[in-house]
Structure 1
Amino acid sequence: MGLVVQLLTLPLSPVRGVVWVLDKVVQQAEREYYDPEPVQARLADLERARDEGRIEADEFDRQEEELLARLEEIRLYQLRQGGMQGGL
């Protein structure tokens, strides 16, 4: 029966290959998007700019708020991912 199923589903092989590749691309994009290191580095750069007087206090506050919100989004995503993996 396995051979018959393989023969009947053979025309779908290219579709399965494309789906697999797209899944890998999405996984990599999510890893990069939800990586906290670039956001933390940007926060450090922002603080350095403030300390050196290259950025005004109100602009620092605005950007810092955005970056901290982004870090919170990343943390919540990682918690959800950990919960989903732990539940399997």
Structure 2
Amino acid sequence: MGLLTSLLTLPLAPVKGVMWLGEIIQEQVEQQLHDPANVRRELEEIEEAAEAGELTPEEKDEAQQAVLNRMISRGGSGSAEGKE
């Protein structure tokens, strides 16, 4: 029975492969988004842009808050709420 099932589901193998690849990519993106080194670098870039006059104080505060909200909403469900 296992061989028959394998043969019948063989056409779905590419779909399963794409789904697996999507899961791996999602895990990597989440790791990078929540990596403390990346968060620190983003906050430093925001600070440098504000000092160079590229950002207003309001834009600086919003950008910093967005980075911090992303760090806080590590569970993933709160990320959509933080943007509204």
Counterpart position of 1:22: 22
Counterpart position of 1:71: 68
Amino acid at match of 1:33: L
CA contact (8 A) 2:43 2:67 kept: no
Alpha-carbon distance in 2 for matches of 1:43, 1:11: 47
Alpha-carbon distance in 2 for matches of 1:2, 1:68: 53
Structure 2 stretches lacking a partner, 5+ long: 77-84
Amino acid at match of 2:71: I
CA contact (8 A) 2:34 2:71 kept: yes
Amino acid at match of 1:2: G
With structure 1 as the length reference, what TM-score do the two structures score?
0.58
**Which structure 2 residues correspond to residues 1-80 of structure 1 after superposition, within 5 A?**
1-45=1-45, 46=47, 50=51, 54-55=52-53, 59-76=56-73, 78=74, 80=75
Percentage of matched positions with identical amino acids:
35
CA contact (8 A) 2:42 2:67 kept: no
Higher helix share: 1
Alpha-carbon distance in 2 for matches of 1:28, 1:62: 28
| Cα distance, 1:37–1:60 mapped onto 2, change above 3 Å | farther
Residue 9 of structure 1 deviates from its aligned partner by 1.0
Structure 1 stretches lacking a partner, 5+ long: 82-88
Greater relative CO, 1 or 2 (CA 8 Å, sep 6+): 1
| Cα distance, 1:21–1:12 mapped onto 2, change above 3 Å | same
Alpha-carbon distance in 1 for matches of 2:25, 2:19: 10
Between structure 1 and structure 2, the one with the greater Rg is 1
